[in-house]
Amino acid sequence: MGRARTIARRTFLIGSAAVAGGVAFGVYKVKTPHDNPLAEGLGEGEATFNPFVKITPEAITLITPHADIGQGVVHMQAALISEELDVEFGQFETDFGAPDPAYWNTALSAEAVPFASFDDSFGARTMRGAVDGMAKLMGLMGTGGSSSVPDQYEKLRAAGAVARETLKLAASQQSGVAVGELKTANGAVQLPDGSSLTYTDLAEAASGLDPVTDVTLRDPSTWRLIGKPMARKDIPAKTTGAQIYGIDLKIDGMVHASTRVSPRRGAMNGYEANGADTMPGVSSILPITGGVAVVANSTWRAMNAVNQIEFDWADAPYPAEQDAHWAEVAASFTEERLDKEWRADGDVDAAMDGAEVISSEYSAGYVAHQPLEPLNAIVRADENGAEVWTGHQLPRFLQQKVAAIVGCEPDDVVYHNQYSGGSFGHRLEWDNITQAAEIAVQMRGTPVKLTLSREEDFATDYPRQIGMSRSKGTVKDGKVDSWSLDIATVSATRSMSGRLGVPVPGPDTQIAAGAWAMAYGIPNLRVRAYAVPELAPTSSWRSVGASTAGFFAESFLDELIHAAGADQIEERMRLCNNDVHRKVLEAVAEMSNWGSAMGANKGRGVALVESFGVPVAQVIEVTNTDAGIKIDRVYVAADVGRVIDPVNFENLVQGGVVWALGHAINSEITYSDGMAEQTNYHASEGMRMYQTPEIIVKGLENAEKIRGIGEPPVPAAPPALANAIFAATGQRIREMPFNKHIDFV
Amino acid sequence: MQLTINGTPHDIEIEPDTPLLWVLRDEIGLTGTKYGCGIAQCGACTVHVDGEARRSCQVQIGDLEGAEVTTIEGFGSPDKLSLVQQAWVDHQVAQCGYCQSGQVMQATALLELNDSPTDEDIDRVMSGNLCRCGTYPRIRAAIHDAAAKIKGA
């Protein structure tokens, strides 16, 4: 192990790697790198080169630590390693790996700092550096904020290159052929005489070598995989029912549990078993925080028994009725609740003095996440530790949460991440895991599988922030001249971080995300964010703050441009002060043939919103039919700097648009008697096949930095739709969900 | 209770009001059929009962004496895809994939009745199957592609 440990310490010094074009890996050049977790338990003749590649005489394993919640990130990570390692899909296995600080996320700073994504000033770089440094120090391993691609883009290619060059060195020593004459392909080192040595055959020899870290990453022109259409490795299994999700896992000796905790998110005063404890297959009713768990010998019997119990719940810690939530939001545009004035270009007040001022109020309610796989977790607590099986995006925090309940060290919690049936932000929360752990410690040694019923999942979802905006603006000489945009929402960031136990200092960058950094040079522009005190607890919902602020901003801008009598795209392009943003606008204008005649009862709307560093422009076409609004087509252009896989890119963009439009049309969580009124998909539907428009996607690569595409397609869709509805009907929709105001087909 | 599942006879003793979904998942171990909502709102649990697409969360096992049930596992495997599944892979439909068993089962039932579905036919038959990831455009394309292959076969 001593040798392996030495190798491990050296392996992360891929800081010496040179990148094509001469950019060095400054961020990885660290004095005290984290140990390589793969070095632990390495067998005789087995080699690891860095935390991402392990080769034994039997198998090649690529570690893909980011959680796969449907975005295809396992395939993406494997492709990045393969590009340099020269292994083909089918020749290796992938593994999420154990939670480890070595997998700290190097790209979380993008939206965590109060600087625009395109701000490359000294202050912005310093703050990002500080956040990155903190993430490294904490070993902050996480999937979220569309950060997986930026986190892994260079790191994993370097990992593949280091492994490849080390294998070549081993082959050179074995064959006597100089390294420079060796080539690699198909998981093997190729010798000039046409023979080859497979990586698995070289594992033993390579295990005795110090990894070769002086590597050069390949020029993009030579790439086999990146940028070309890929076939995701997980799709055949997901098409045949063969993919095992957390909810499908079976651990020997496990029992089944279902829970009911307070739908008012508070305490349980008491309960009447009402015969639930003697129902067939039921073994016990156990107390957990805020409610009970029924343990049984099948999921169905456990869920049935839970429904039999009568509960007495304490009051909610937030207003019982929805109207009071809205009243609190409306009362938050005050000096005391000002979270930050993000933008103060020109002089808004002076510009409006004496001018005709246009003003509007917008609102967006709570919305549930509800991925299709109900939350679940398997936990087995032992005397000195625990084992956990579930899909989650923050593995090391998960270890801490479970350890606190089990009474052990976080490192004694063995965690097996699972493919997840969606997340959209839902798998950044903890209740299913802490509940399973609370049950498991009451029956140590027995694996407990907790499956939430859909109704329980709805009742205990932490929805998207509720919020409102108040805008005022003026136009002059056919142009937008001034705009004051005030946004008040609850802080999903603070609500989440409170449950995580990690306070986030400074202003919440999400309240006005997608609005404050808008790339518009409006002469007089002020953007202020107000923090509404915590109401119902909320959490990150795909694209987070921009999902509400983007709607507020781009809808009102549409009002101003309309008042100015200008063309909606031309005026946006005139105002746009960022080339990358302007080009996505130009792209959708061209794709949609903007300005061409549409016929009666039809309309087009446009919106441009940046999310997690990605500018996304959308043009939506609608028809006002007798049966309601029909969404005909959506044109989307997004710039991520570099598209890794155009097929998956298109799928994720289409899916993001469907997600955004479905919820904007028909979904909202409202509270009554302290409880969410929507209990299942019939009341919170999202989009279905018959409503789905044609969605035409274009990926642009003008941006300097590479970005992720999971969340960015969301925010521009609702305002583009509302603007299209206005164009087709003259009716301005200022509240989500839109079906409160207009019918849809 | 005697019934056939994917061609194999099963003799199941369980409370007769148990939904077929939970018999498949917890008793028989066929987990390709998914629990999504429990109230026939999402379609993730779709199976074929005597050749007809049904929501297995709404079918009580007690009503299935002598029935022939086919689940997603009965139609193919990653190494041996059905024609519809092949279209799904060709169009790279799945994201999280959790709804796709039900989507494939519903589409297979549609194509068995109608090998030339229009967009309206697809809307009518497929709209009960929820996909939270929003893969509908690709599902539609895969169904049209599978239909073309069925006619060409």
In our burial notation (b when 16+ CB lie closer than 10 A, e otherwise), range A673-711 reads: ebbbebbbbebbbbbbbbbbbebbbbbbeebebbbbbbb
**C-alpha to C-alpha distances, A342 to A507, B42, B91, B98, nearest whole angstrom:** 10, 42, 44, 41
Q: How far is B141 from chain A (nearest CA, A)?
A: 11
Average pLDDT, chain A: 92
Among B74, B108, B129, the domain-final residue is B74
My answer on whether B70 and B110 are in the same domain is no
User: Residue A489 is encoded by which pair of tokens?
Assistant: 């929402």
Degrees to nearest 5, angle at CA A628 with A627 and A630:
110
For B127, nearest residue in chain A (alpha carbons)? A689
User: Residue B133 is encoded by which pair of tokens?
Assistant: 């990831």
For A695, nearest residue in chain B (alpha carbons)? B137
The B52-55 sheet, strands edge to edge: B8-11, B2-5, B68-70, B46-49, B52-55
Quick one: CA torsion of A81, A87, A91, A96, rounded to 10 degrees?
Answer: -10
Residue A31 has pLDDT above 60, yes or no: no
- What gap in Å lies between CA A92 and CA A74, rounded to an integer? 12
Q: Indicate the CATH number for domain A246-316+375-451.
A: 3.30.365.10
Tell me which chain B residues have a C-beta less than 8 angstroms from the C-beta of A454.
Answer: 36-39
Task: Confirm or reject contact between B60 and chain A (CB < 8 A).
Answer: no
Q: How far is A278 from chain B (nearest CA, A)?
A: 15
Torsions phi, psi of B138, nearest 5?
-80, -35
Torsions phi, psi of A602, nearest 5?
-115, 155
> Could A236 and B81 be called an inter-chain contact, meaning their C-beta atoms sit closer than 8 Å?
yes
Residue B118 has pLDDT above 50, yes or no: yes
Q: Rg of the Cα trace of chain B? A: 15
Closest CA to A610 of A214, A259, A108, A117: A117
Residue A11 has pLDDT above 70, yes or no: no
pLDDT in tens, A73-91: 999 999 999 999 999 999 9
pLDDT in tens, A263-289: 999 999 999 999 999 999 999 999 999
Range A669-683 average pLDDT: 98
Q: Which of B61, B98, B104 is the mutation pick for testing A, counting most A CBs within 10 A?
A: B98
> Could A659 and B134 be called an inter-chain contact, meaning their C-beta atoms sit closer than 8 Å?
yes
Tell me which chain B residues have a C-beta less than 8 angstroms from the C-beta of A680.
Answer: 37-39, 41
Tell me which chain B residues have a C-beta less than 8 angstroms from the C-beta of A648.
Answer: 92
Range B111-136 average pLDDT: 98
Among B74, B94, B127, the domain-final residue is B74
For A694, nearest residue in chain B (alpha carbons)? B137
Three-state DSSP string of A611-666: ECCEEEEEEEEEEEECCEEEEEEEEEEEECCCCCCHHHHHHHHHHHHHHHHHHHHH
**C-alpha to C-alpha distances, A525 to A338, A371, A508, A517, A553, nearest whole angstrom:** 17, 38, 20, 11, 12
Q: What DSSP string runs through A150-189?
A: HHHTTHHHHHHHHHHHHHHHHHHHHH---GGG-EEETTEE
User: Residue A15 is encoded by which pair of tokens?
Assistant: 């800081």
- What gap in Å lies between CA A208 and CA B24, rounded to an integer? 50
- What's the structural domain count of chain B? 2
- pLDDT confidence band for A16 (50 / 70 / 90): very low
Q: What DSSP string runs through A180-205?
A: GG-EEETTEEEPTTS-EEEHHHHHHH
Q: Which fold has domain A4-105+141-235?
A: Aldehyde Oxidoreductase; domain 4 (3.30.365)
Task: Confirm or reject contact between B41 and chain A (CB < 8 A).
Answer: yes
Answer left, alpha or beta for residue A343, where phi above 0 means left and psi between -120 and 50 means alpha. Answer: beta
Query: Distance of alpha carbon A149 from its chain centroid, rounded?
Result: 11
* Of residues A153 and A9, more confidently modeled: A153
Three-class DSSP category at A94: strand
- What gap in Å lies between CA A178 and CA A174, rounded to an integer? 10
Degrees to nearest 5, angle at CA A729 with A726 and A731:
55
pLDDT in tens, A42-66: 888 888 888 899 999 999 999 999 9
- What gap in Å lies between CA A626 and CA A633, rounded to an integer? 18
Number of CB pairs, chain A paired with chain B, less than 8 A apart: 190
Range A131-149 average pLDDT: 81
- Percent pLDDT > 90 in chain A is 84
* Of residues A322 and A11, more confidently modeled: A322
Range A702-707 average pLDDT: 96
pLDDT in tens, A364-405: 999 999 999 999 999 999 999 999 999 999 999 999 999 999
Pairing label, strands A338-345, A524-532: antiparallel
User: Residue written as tokens 């956990």?
Assistant: A388
Residue A29 has pLDDT above 60, yes or no: no
> Could A657 and B134 be called an inter-chain contact, meaning their C-beta atoms sit closer than 8 Å?
yes
Task: Confirm or reject contact between B102 and chain A (CB < 8 A).
Answer: no
For residue A114, is the peptide bond before it cis, meaning its omega torsion is within 30 degrees of 0? Answer: no
- How many CB atoms neighbour CB A345 within 10 A? 15
Q: Rg of the Cα trace of chain A? A: 27
My answer on whether B123 and B61 are in the same domain is no
Among B42, B74, B106, the domain-final residue is B74
Give the per-residue pLDDT at A110: 65
Range A336-353 average pLDDT: 98
Q: Identify the bridge partners of residue A291 per DSSP, sorted by sequence position.
A: A261, A288
Q: Which of A372, A542, A648, A696 is the mutation pick for testing B, counting most B CBs within 10 A?
A: A372
Give the per-residue pLDDT at A2: 30
Q: How far is A392 from chain B (nearest CA, A)?
A: 14
User: Residue A166 is encoded by which pair of tokens?
Assistant: 């080390």
Range A541-564 average pLDDT: 98
User: Residue A204 is encoded by which pair of tokens?
Assistant: 């033993």
Give the per-residue pLDDT at A111: 67
Range A680-684 average pLDDT: 97
Give the per-residue pLDDT at A670: 98
- What residue type is A408 in one-letter code? C
My answer on whether B93 and B129 are in the same domain is yes
For B129, nearest residue in chain A (alpha carbons)? A688
My answer on whether B30 and B94 are in the same domain is no
Tell me which chain B residues have a C-beta less than 8 angstroms from the C-beta of A282.
Answer: none
User: Residue A615 is encoded by which pair of tokens?
Assistant: 């500018």
- What gap in Å lies between CA B50 and CA A541, rounded to an integer? 41
DSSP A113: S
Q: How far is A431 from chain B (nearest CA, A)?
A: 19
- How many CB atoms neighbour CB A186 within 10 A? 12
My answer on whether B6 and B41 are in the same domain is yes
User: Residue A698 is encoded by which pair of tokens?
Assistant: 């274009």
User: Residue written as tokens 């925010």?
Assistant: A715
Residue A510 has pLDDT above 70, yes or no: yes
> Could B135 and A651 be called an inter-chain contact, meaning their C-beta atoms sit closer than 8 Å?
yes
- What gap in Å lies between CA A541 and CA A548, rounded to an integer? 10
> Could A424 and B81 be called an inter-chain contact, meaning their C-beta atoms sit closer than 8 Å?
no
User: Residue written as tokens 């420079």?
Assistant: A180
Q: Indicate the CATH number for domain A332-367+462-740.
A: 3.30.365.10
For residue B55, the domain's CATH number is: 3.10.20.30
Tell me which chain A residues have a C-beta less than 8 angstroms from the C-beta of B140.
Answer: 689, 692
Tell me which chain A residues have a C-beta less than 8 angstroms from the C-beta of B31.
Answer: 241, 244, 247-248
My answer on whether B60 and B116 are in the same domain is no
How buried is A398 (Cβ within 10 angstroms: 0-12 exposed, 13-18 middle, 19+ buried)? buried
Minimum-distance CB partner of A454 among B38, B81, B138? B38
- Percent pLDDT > 70 in chain A is 95
Tell me if A4-105+141-235 shares its fold with A246-316+375-451: yes
Give the per-residue pLDDT at A13: 33
pLDDT in tens, A593-605: 999 999 999 999 9
For residue A737, is the peptide bond before it cis, meaning its omega torsion is within 30 degrees of 0? Answer: yes
My answer on whether B68 and B98 are in the same domain is no
Tell me which chain B residues have a C-beta less than 8 angstroms from the C-beta of A666.
Answer: none
pLDDT in tens, A305-334: 999 999 999 999 999 999 999 999 999 999
> Could B123 and A690 be called an inter-chain contact, meaning their C-beta atoms sit closer than 8 Å?
yes
For residue B137, the domain's CATH number is: 1.10.150.120
- What gap in Å lies between CA A411 and CA A393, rounded to an integer? 17
Residue A540 has pLDDT above 70, yes or no: yes
- pLDDT confidence band for B104 (50 / 70 / 90): very high
User: Residue B75 is encoded by which pair of tokens?
Assistant: 């139609």
Range B1-7 average pLDDT: 96
Give the per-residue pLDDT at A44: 82
> Could A372 and B132 be called an inter-chain contact, meaning their C-beta atoms sit closer than 8 Å?
yes
Q: How far is A26 from chain B (nearest CA, A)?
A: 34
> Could A682 and B36 be called an inter-chain contact, meaning their C-beta atoms sit closer than 8 Å?
no
- Which residue ranges make up each domain of chain A? 4-105+141-235, 246-316+375-451, 332-367+462-740
For B32, nearest residue in chain A (alpha carbons)? A241
Which H or E run contains A67?
none
Check if the beta carbon of residue A640 is closer than 8 Å to that of residue A708: yes
My answer on whether B32 and B63 are in the same domain is yes
pLDDT in tens, A78-128: 999 999 999 999 999 999 999 988 888 888 776 677 788 888 888 888 778
Residue A21 has pLDDT above 90, yes or no: no
Look up the domain containing B148 and give its range: 83-152
Give the per-residue pLDDT at A33: 56
Pairing label, strands A268-272, A282-288: unpaired
Tell me which chain B residues have a C-beta less than 8 angstroms from the C-beta of A232.
Answer: 92, 94
For A456, nearest residue in chain B (alpha carbons)? B37
Task: Confirm or reject contact between B99 and chain A (CB < 8 A).
Answer: yes
> Could A420 and B19 be called an inter-chain contact, meaning their C-beta atoms sit closer than 8 Å?
no
Check if the beta carbon of residue A296 is closer than 8 Å to that of residue A305: yes
Check if the beta carbon of residue A270 is closer than 8 Å to that of residue A263: no
Give the per-residue pLDDT at A123: 80
> Could B96 and A69 be called an inter-chain contact, meaning their C-beta atoms sit closer than 8 Å?
yes
- What gap in Å lies between CA B80 and CA A509, rounded to an integer? 49
